[in-house]
Amino acid sequence: MPGGSPQTLRPFLWRAEQLYPDTEVVSRTHEGITRYDYGTYADRVAQLANALDDAGYGDGERLGTFCWNHHRHFETYFGIPGMGAQLHTINPLLPDKHVQYIVENAEDETIFVDQSFLPKLEGAVADDPDPFDSVERFVVMGESVPETDLDAVAYDSFIDGHSTTYDWPELEEERPAGLCYTSGTTGRPKGVEYTQQMLWSHTMALQTPQGLPLAEDDVVMPVVPMFHVNAWGLPFSATAGGAKHVYPGPQPEPADLAHLIESEGVTITAGVPTVWLGLMDYVKENDVDLSTLDRLVVGGSAAPEAMIRFFDDHGVELVHAWGMTETAPVGAVSHLKHDLEDADYETQLEKRSKQGLIVPGLEFEVVDDEGEAVPHDGEAYGELLIRGPWVTTEYFARPEATEQEFENGYLKTGDVVSVDEDGYIKIVDRSKDVIKSGGEWISSQELENELMAHESVSEAAVIGVPHERWQERPLALVVPAEDADTDSLAGELREHVLDSYPKWWVPDSVVTIDEVPKTATGKFDKQTLREEYGDKSMVEGRVPEDAAPE
Ligand code: AMP
C-alpha cells in the first residue's frame, strides 16, 4: 500500500475528537432529549468497542441493529466497524418474514434493538425462532430492559464499566464494515455489503461541493432512518466535517421535526418526500421559524416541483438527490451548474427537479434494450448503469442475483432515465414494479401472491398509484372467483392481507376487473394496467368504500 494508511472510517472520528471535542450530539429518545459532545461520544464508542471485544467480536462478525435514529445507534456506527465487526442495519418496518430471512441470511450474532421495536422483534422470534439461531444476545437501547421473553441486556449496562480508550486495530480497506438489505423486486431481500473503503470513499465524495458537504458550523438532522443505507451516509460525513448532529428519534412527527429545527438551529436535514410533505402542512398551519435551515435534501422518491417551490419561498434550498442501497447510497445530486445560475427561475426549477448530476468518482451509462448507449438529449431513455468505488458489484450470499444485476463491473440499476445536454439525469420510470410508499418498498408481487391465495380471487395484479402524501400506494386489480361475493370482497381481502403484512402494505383500493391483461410471454401486463388505472383520479369513484384504509 503506497499510501501511509488504509481508507477506513476511523480517522473521521479521530479528527472530530481532536478538533471539535465540545461540538454536540443531540438525540431525541424515549427518555427525552440527550445531549453530549464528541468527547463523550468518542468515550462511549470506545466503551462499546471494549464491550464487543470482551464479547469475543472483532473478526467480521455481523451485529444487527433494529433501531430509529438516536445517539446510541450512532455509537454503533463507529464502534462496530471500528473494532473489526460489521454493522448490519435491519429495517424494523419490514414484515416479520423478511426480518427472519434477513437475520438468517446475515447470521447476526447480536441484535441491538429499540424498546419500541422490542414487541415486533419478539413477535418475529416467537413466530419462527430458527432464523435467530445465530443470535447470542439482544441489547436493548436504553438504561434498562423492559419485561421481555428475549435474553436481553440494557445497552448502557452492556458498555458500562468499560474503558473509555480502545486500541483501535488497523483494518484493511476490504474489511466489510456495513450491511444493508434492499427489498427484492422479485423474491427475497438482497444484502449489500459496504467495505471500509466504500464507506470512506462515499464519505469523501459527499464532502465535495458536488456532493452534500458538511462543515463544522453545520447542524445536521438526518430524518432518513439510520436503517436505510446508513441514513444516506450523513452520520459519517457529519463527523468527518465536525458538524453538530441532531437525531430525531422514534417515529418523529412533523411537530417534533419543526421543534428540533428551531431549538437546535438545524442547518441541513434529509429525508424522503413524505416527510417533507408532512412538514409543509405543519408549517402552513403553525408559526415555524425555518431561518437557520439552509438545505433540505430530498431523495428516495422524486421531489415534487411544488415542494421545491414551497421551500424556496421559505428561504430553504431543496436539494434533490438520487441513490440506491447498492450505491451506498448517493450517486447524483441536483446542484445547479455554474452557467445556469443566471437562468430564469423556471429553467432552474426544471433542472433542480431532475435527479441530478453524477457525483465525482462515479461513472454511468444509459443503454437501450439492445445495450446501445442512448444520446444525452433529454428525450431518449434507457436503463441507468453505474459503477464506482462505493457502488457494489455483488449481493451478499446471493450469486444468482449477482449474475442478473451486474454487467462488466456496472450495476444495472433498474431505473429508466434520460440525460439532458447538461448532464442532468432524470428518472423516467422504474423498470421494477415495486411500489414505494413513504420511502418504504412494497413488493407488488408478494401482494399479488397473497391476494391470489384468497379463495374468492382468481387473479390479482397490484400497481402503484400516485398519492399526495405517500408518493405511491398499492392499488389491487382483482378478478373475483366465480362464486365470490363481490360486495364483501374488498373488506375480506383487507383482513386477509393484514394477517401476514403490516397495515401499510394493505392496498388502498381494490378494483374488480374481468381479466388481467397479459404480455406476449403470458406475464401480467402492468404497463397496460398502469395506463388504465395508474392515474388516481381514474380510480376514484370505482373504489368500494370499505376498501379504503382506516
Ligand atoms: P433504495 O435502494 O431503497 O434506496 O431505493 C433505490 C431506488 O429509489 C432507486 O433505484 C430509484 O428507483 C428510487 N429513487 C431514489 N432516489 C430517487 C429520486 N430522487 N427520485 C426518484 N426515485 C428515486
Within-domain flag for 340: no
Cα of 324 from ligand 1 centre, angstroms: 6
What is the percent of the chain with per-residue pLDDT over 90, rounded to a whole number?
Answer: 77
Computed over every residue of the chain, the mean pLDDT equals 92
Does the structure show a pLDDT above 90 at 274?
no
Nearest CA to ligand 1 atom 4: 324
Given a contact cutoff of 8 angstroms between Cβ atoms, the answer to whether 118 and 148 are in contact is: yes
Ligand 1 atom nearest to CA at 356: 19
Query: Residue 519 has what pLDDT?
Result: 66
- Does the pTM surpass 0.85? The reply is yes
148 lines ligand 1 (CB under 6 A): no
Question: How far, in Å, are 4, 367, 439 from residue 282 at the CA level?
Answer: 51, 42, 19
Within-domain flag for 128: yes
Domain end (from 252, 268, 294): 252
Does the structure show a pLDDT above 80 at 107?
yes
Ligand 1 atom nearest to CA at 183: 3
| Cis peptide upstream of residue 549 (ω within 30 degrees of 0) | no
What value does the mean pLDDT take over residues 278-292?
A: 96
Given a contact cutoff of 8 angstroms between Cβ atoms, the answer to whether 89 and 227 are in contact is: yes
Ligand 1: which of 327, 415, 431 to mutate, judged by most atoms within 8 Å of the beta carbon? 415
Within-domain flag for 175: yes
Cα of 181 from ligand 1 centre, angstroms: 14
The CATH number of residue 478's host domain is 3.30.300.30
Query: Residue 432 has what pLDDT?
Result: 64
Q: What is the DSSP letter of 302?
A: P
CA distance 270 to 119: 28
Ligand 1: which of 301, 320, 435 to mutate, judged by most atoms within 8 Å of the beta carbon? 301
Task: Return the bridge partners of 270, or none.
Answer: 222, 297
Q: Which residue has the higher pLDDT, 32 or 525?
A: 32
Neighbours of 472 (CB within 10 A): 19
322 lines ligand 1 (CB under 6 A): yes
125 lines ligand 1 (CB under 6 A): no
Nearest CA to ligand 1 atom 8: 300
Does the structure show a pLDDT above 80 at 540?
no
Domain end (from 201, 217, 252): 252
* Catalytic residue selected from 190, 244, 432, 436: 436
The CATH number of residue 205's host domain is 3.40.50.12780
Query: Residue 306 has what pLDDT?
Result: 87
Within-domain flag for 428: no
CA distance 317 to 319: 6
Containing 527, the helix (H) or strand (E) segment is: helix 526-533
pLDDT band at 449 (very low <50, low <70, confident <90, very high): confident
Does the structure show a pLDDT above 80 at 445?
no
Within-domain flag for 206: yes
441 flagged as catalytic: yes
Q: Which residues of 205-218 are buried (b: 16+ CB within 10 A; e: fewer)?
A: bbbeebbbbbeeeb
Q: H/E/C letters for each residue in 388-426?
A: CCCCCCCCECCHHHHHHHEECCEEEEEEEEEECCCCCEE
What value does the mean pLDDT take over residues 446-470?
A: 89
Handedness of CA 272, 273, 278, 281 (dihedral sign): positive
122 flagged as catalytic: no
Within-domain flag for 233: yes
3-state SS, residue 204 = helix
CA atoms within 13 A on the CB side of 102: 30
Does the structure show a pLDDT above 70 at 547?
no
Cα of 397 from ligand 1 centre, angstroms: 23
Beta strand 32-37 with 24-29 is antiparallel
CA distance 61 to 291: 44
Ligand 1: which of 427, 432, 433, 441 to mutate, judged by most atoms within 8 Å of the beta carbon? 427
82-91, 226-235, 438-447: the lowest-pLDDT one: 438-447
Cα of 455 from ligand 1 centre, angstroms: 35
* Catalytic residue selected from 326, 383, 440, 448: 326
* Catalytic residue selected from 8, 182, 392, 413: 182
Q: Which three cell numbers stand for residue 88?
A: 448490519
341: CB partners within 8 A, 6+ apart:
none
CA distance 454 to 449: 9
354 lines ligand 1 (CB under 6 A): no
Domain end (from 252, 276, 300): 252
Does the structure show a pLDDT above 50 at 416?
yes
What value does the mean pLDDT take over residues 236-263?
A: 97
Nearest CA to ligand 1 atom 23: 301
Within-domain flag for 264: no
Query: Residue 430 has what pLDDT?
Result: 66
Within-domain flag for 360: no
326 flagged as catalytic: yes
Neighbours of 379 (CB within 10 A): 10
Q: Which three cell numbers stand for residue 413?
A: 440499476
What is the percent of the chain with per-residue pLDDT over 70, rounded to a whole number?
Answer: 95
192 lines ligand 1 (CB under 6 A): no
Is residue 517 packed enough to be buried (19+ CB in 10 Å), middle (13-18) or exposed (0-12)?
Answer: middle
191 lines ligand 1 (CB under 6 A): no
pLDDT tens figures, 360-374: 999 999 998 788 999
Q: H/E/C letters for each residue in 362-384?
A: CEEEEECCCCCECCCCCCCEEEE
The winner for highest mean pLDDT among 262-266, 297-301, 443-447 is: 262-266
108 lines ligand 1 (CB under 6 A): no
Q: Phi/psi of residue 527, each to 5°?
A: -60, -45
Query: Residue 536 has what pLDDT?
Result: 56
Given a contact cutoff of 8 angstroms between Cβ atoms, the answer to whether 26 and 40 are in contact is: no
CA distance 134 to 23: 38
436 flagged as catalytic: yes
Does the structure show a pLDDT above 90 at 38?
yes
Nearest CA to 497 out of 487, 508, 506, 485 is that of 506
Query: Residue 524 has what pLDDT?
Result: 76
Task: Give the domain extent around 450.
Answer: 435-547
Does the structure show a pLDDT above 70 at 214?
yes
Q: What is the DSSP letter of 549?
A: -
pLDDT band at 439 (very low <50, low <70, confident <90, very high): confident
465: CB partners within 8 A, 6+ apart:
472, 473, 474, 475, 508, 509, 533, 534, 535, 536, 539
Does the structure show a pLDDT above 80 at 538?
no
Is residue 421 packed enough to be buried (19+ CB in 10 Å), middle (13-18) or exposed (0-12)?
Answer: exposed
pLDDT band at 548 (very low <50, low <70, confident <90, very high): very low
Q: How many domains does the chain have?
A: 2
pLDDT tens figures, 181-195: 986 545 678 999 999
